[in-house]
Amino acid sequence: MHDSLVITRIEGRVGIIQLNRPSHLNALNDALMDALGAALIEMEKNDDIGCIVLTGSSKAFAAGADISAMQKLSYHDVTKDDLISRNWETMLQVRKPVIAAVAGYALGGGCEVAMMCDFIIAADNAKFGQPEIKIGTIPGAGGSQRLPRAVSKSKAMDMVLTGRIMDAVEAERAGLVSRIVPLDKLNDEALEAATVIAGMSLPIAIAAKEAVNRAYETTLREGVLFERRTFHATFATQDRKEGMTAFVEKREPHFTHQ
């Protein structure tokens, strides 16, 4: 199943979404973001999918929001239509784990979409940046908030104020990406990681994702309490029982996602 803007496929229990607007280095216009949102929601609803991989091309994950589409808009235009909110926040509705597999440019909105994913696996040619200042604006899809949380205030300020590009090695050193792999291994590595995750219990993976995300959104005390309650709640699942029983019986667990 695919259309011109996103190409989707399913491998085992992994859903793969590829941004596909090569003529514009996957610049994120409304049509592409709508297509991405629809693909995410479809995969979120599909019980046969346990993890999602979002990727682009070997040249660009996404080179940002579509500058040509924004160029003529006025303040009134962007506030009345809530530019960037309408179809950019769909990602945040996805409870299943989402991995960003990034090759080439992940700039502006492209870097922001990658940061909305749960973790980033980067090809060795990946380039990250929030260069909005160079076109007279600032990040609009969470870059000024998620980047400092990922890489510290100092490096985020450097990136946002100078608009410079960070290569994959710097991005891994700074904590923005979890792993770097050679470009030709990116898809395999992302699929392998996603397959591992999709082999876990889905409700437990969702609980784990919620708990880690809580670290971004609340105080340590509240986050630890949330984690404790969620940990206790896993004891109400079949899969927690199966996981521990399988360990004790020295066999592989068979999770039923319940």
CB of 50 within 8 A of CB of 202? yes
To ligand CAA, the closest distance from the beta carbon of 141 in angstroms equals: 4
Residue closer to ligand CAA, measured from CB, 40 or 191 = 40
> Which residue, 197, 236, 230, 200, is CA-closest to 212?
230
Q: Closest distance between ligand CAA and the C-beta of residue 213, in Å?
A: 21
Comparison of 7 and 67: residue with beta carbon closer to ligand CAA:
67
Instruction: State which of positions 85-144 bind ligand CAA (CB under 6 A).
Output: 105, 107-109, 112, 131-132, 135, 139-141, 143
Query: What are the Cα distances from residue 97, in Å, to 91, 176, 219?
Result: 11, 17, 23
Cα 138 to Cα 70: distance, rounded to the nearest angstrom: 13
Given 112, 141, 150, 156, the catalytic residue = 112
Chosen residue from 12, 24, 178, 215 binding ligand CAA by CB under 6 A: 24
Look-up of token digits 């309650």: 229
Three-state SS for 110?
Answer: helix
- Residue (112 or 172) nearer to ligand CAA, CB: 112
Mask for 47-76, x = binds ligand CAA (CB under 6 A): ----------------xxxxxx--------
Check 109, 110, 129, 243 and give the catalytic one: 109
Q: Of the two residues 105 and 255, which places its CB atom closer to ligand CAA in the complex?
A: 105
Which residues lie across from 121 on neighbouring strands? 101, 179
Residue of 35, 39, 65, 193 marked catalytic: 65
132 catalytic? Reply is yes
Cβ nearer to ligand CAA, comparing 31 with 211: 31
Output b/e per residue, 56-90; b: 16+ Cβ within 10 A. Answer: bbeebbbbbbbeeebeeeeeeeeeeeebbeebbeb
Strand order in 127-129's β-sheet?
A: 60-62, 105-107, 127-129, 166-167
112 is a catalytic site residue: yes
- Catalytic residue ranges: 65, 109, 112, 132
Residues that bind ligand CAA (CB under 6 A): 24-25, 27, 63-68, 84, 105, 107-109, 112, 131-132, 135, 139-141, 143
